[in-house]
Structure 1
Amino acid sequence: MELRFRVRSAAAARVVAGRPRIRIRPAARTSPTLWAQMRLCALRAALSTAKEAEGWVLHSPRAWLGTAFHVLMAARPSDAGEAERVWDTAIAGLLAASSGHRLDKRFASPERWPGYYLVRQRAIASAVQGVLPPASARLPAGGRRPLRGTELLLTARDGLLAGRPDEFDRQSVTEFKSALPDPAWPEAESLTEGYWRQLRLYAVLIGETAEWPAVARIVAASGQVLTRDVDRPACEAEADAAVAGLRAMNEALGHGSGSAQLATPGEIECGQCQYQAICPAFWSWCETMSWPQLRQPAARGIIEAIDPGVDGDVYAVTLRLDGRHGEGGPLPLALRRSVHGDLTGCGLGAQIRVVHAQMRQDGRLRADMSTCVFAEDELPELEFRRSA
């Protein structure tokens, strides 16, 4: 699962000389999630292992819906009333965790999450109707090797690979998702393949702990189920690649590599990266590439004017942006304190970074619920440490 109920605040970052620092160290082990990051960019993977970096990441309510769906399916409710209570309790836990996070707290109203009611309705129906066959009985395994589990921490490859399969029994391993991508979407195939890659690693974790599952499944809240036979050689090869990636990343860090050496910037690698705001390599790449076309644009500039607003929430800053995003002249950007934070105290001339913005029809940027805006002097510095 991509998100657990515990979310750390940016205040957890160590503050040195007035600015927070994020210490990046070699990782003790890899996981399906870390391997997915590492396949795109070693710096992105390294940042994902740094606890302090979590406070600078805007998490996705879509992932939270997947978490709630998994909790619901694990509970195996007997009727709709029980299913509703389990769902609502899971959502309440996620909201409580996100309320202390400087960025995630903007999502305090789940009713405004994309597709919330549809996913809730489908998830409850799937849980009650039973889209999965009954769980296999727990069989004797010497008292040490579980043949069935939900979110159990498993390790393999001498402890270098770890993960928590959503659910497994002696026949199958299952991954729960709030939704599956529309097959017509250009990136649907690669996203779904990422799910299968995750399940291949889970199969190895289960196989080294108990016995190999025969079937891997992806279950969506809609009731859609994708099934594949477990290909053991392919799973073993995936695990070997994940461990090799871990060793390569740690070796690079051990040799003193920094962000420029670890990063592999590109439109695919950076386009959905949650660490854009704090990644030096990303901003250097943007400047050298004349600010590339990203699905959610990012920009850098200075504040030229501030309108504090009158209602205590909505305000505006006028930014002079670098590169092609600044070609249309100064950009008035409407923001909300409750969503984007308060930049009115930064002062004119302050350097600003905007990430995960949206594009207006006239080609200029606008801010929405997913947009994050930071003053550069508040952003953390990356500190690379050789020792684990």
Structure 2
Amino acid sequence: MAERPRIRIRPAARTSPTLWAQMRLCTLRAAMSTAKEAEGWVLHSPRVWLGTAFHLLMAARPPDAGEAERVWDSAIAGLLTVSSGHRLDRRFASPERWPGYYMVRQRAIASAIQSGFRPVSARLPAAGPRPLGGAELLLTARDGLLSGRPDQFDRQSVTEFKSSLPDPAWPEAASLVEGYWRQLRLYAVLVGETAGWPAVARIVAASGQVLTRNVDRRECEAEADAAVAGLRSMNEGLGHGWGSAQLATPGEIECGQCQYQAICPAFWSWCETMSWPQLRQPAARGILQAIDPGFDGDLYAITLRLDGRHGEGGLLPLALRRSVHGDLTGCRLGAQIRIVHAQMRQDGRLRADISTCVFPEDELPDLEFWSSA
């Protein structure tokens, strides 16, 4: 049997708005997000890619619709090139099938043409006066322990671009938007220590929606202090030999949307003790009982005997596609299989969709934790 791959978890040199968002949910999740090896086991979201394309479009500030379309299409092509080399992300090879693709594209192009944002320098000067503004510039603060790239900033404001804003009627909308403001509080500190404190923070969506808040320096400073304290706490834990059990804080909210479910030992231990909790996208473990290789070269089926309450309905036949879920037809019968980000059918049984990931357990990586001891 081939040696299992390893993901090495080490202390982080600095924190960022993204890392702090992860850390607030689960320190183990944050620690895994700093390991480059973990990225190969994460299914990324096309919604995030749409946001990236929107960022690039707003930074370019094209003069007309034709140039805006060229910038957008070039950004999407670059994202597809990167995703095509990723074992999980390559399933999203057709952007036309991404949720809301055409609507976001149309709105983003219109916003880029109509916006009043000025084109800015793409890099910080090596020497001389502090920059008066910038886009996607790497800024640092708190003696280098906090870093980030604000989407756009100038002497008056700091701006975060989003491909869309959640429907206010959605139960989690307020929490999601507050996460955006938390991110902007850290960006305000980064801008404040680099170019002077902005007065206003803005969230700008591709739809043209703009949310605005005055920058409260005291709140921003407190957010930065908490983020740096979280970084130090994580690094100290790793230095004392903490592993997944000590770093993790599993729960339905913390684990529900976690991209590291498949490789997280604390998550699977928690699921077993909770008799498999009710997650929006269920996860399950099972033993491979049968394989139907299919006839069209893509669609095939496996049959699993699942653990816990997901197995109450008896054996589960699961339809999969090689182009989406990989090829499990060479697995040995009796192999342990992990399913993450599944969907629930009306009869209470699991099914796989384009976001579902299925892995033989003996091919998943081990986590290796750094320790100074």
Q: TM-score, normalised to structure 2's length?
A: 0.97
Task: Provide the rounded CA distance (Å) in 1 between the counterparts of 2:295 and 2:57.
Answer: 43
What do the CA deviations read for 1:139-185 (whole angstroms, capped 9, x no partner)? x9972411111111100000000001011111111111110000000
1:364 aligns with 2:344: no
> Does residue 281 in structure 1 map to residue 261 in structure 2?
no
Checking the alignment, whether the CA contact within 8 Å between 2:281 and 2:341 is kept in structure 1 is: yes
Alignment pair present for 1:319 and 2:304: yes
2:158 alignment partner, one of 147, 170, 173: 173
Counterparts of residues 213-362 of structure 1 (less than 5 Å):
213-362=198-347
Q: Deviations over 1:198-245 (max 9, x none)?
A: 000000001111101111110111010101111100000000000000
Instruction: Give the conservation status (yes or no) of the 8 Å contact 2:61–2:119.
Output: no
2:91 is matched with which residue? 106
Give the whole-Å Cα distance in 1 for the aligned partners of 2:150 and 2:372.
30
Distance in 1, Cα, partners of 2:325 & 2:15: 33
* 3-state SS of paired residue (1:19): coil
Q: How does 1:1-388 map to 2 (within 5 A)?
A: 18-130=3-115, 132=116, 134=118, 143-387=128-372
Structure 1 residue 137 displacement after superposition: 11
SS in 1 for 2:338: strand
| Structure 2 counterpart SS, 1:344 | coil
From the superposition, tell whether residues 45 and 137 of structure 1 become closer, same or farther in structure 2 (CA, over 3 Å): closer
What SS does the aligned partner of 1:94 have?
A: helix
The superposition leaves residues 36-62 of structure 1 with CA deviations (integer Å, 9 ceiling, x where unpaired) of 000000000000000000000000000
- Pairwise CA distance, 1:254: 0.5
3-state SS, counterpart of residue 258 of structure 2: coil
Secondary structure of 1:306's partner?
A: strand
User: How far is the alpha carbon of 1:135 from its aligned partner?
Assistant: 6.5
* Structure 2: segments with no counterpart, 5+ residues: none
CA distance in 2, matches of 1:134, 1:303: 57
Q: Is the 8 A contact 2:61 2:118 kept in 1?
A: no
- Would the alpha carbon gap of residues 148 and 327 (structure 1) be closer, same or farther in structure 2, given more than 3 Å must change? same
The whole-number CA distance in structure 2 between the counterparts of 1:208 and 1:135 is 22
> Structure 1: 5+ residue runs without aligned partners?
1-15
Check the 8 A contact 1:24/1:50 in 2, yes or no. yes
SS for the counterpart of 2:203 is strand
Percent same amino acid among aligned pairs?
A: 86
RMSD across aligned positions (CA): 1.8
CA distance in 2, matches of 1:382, 1:144: 45
Aligned length: 371
Q: Quick one: which amino acid aligns to residue 159 of structure 1?
A: G
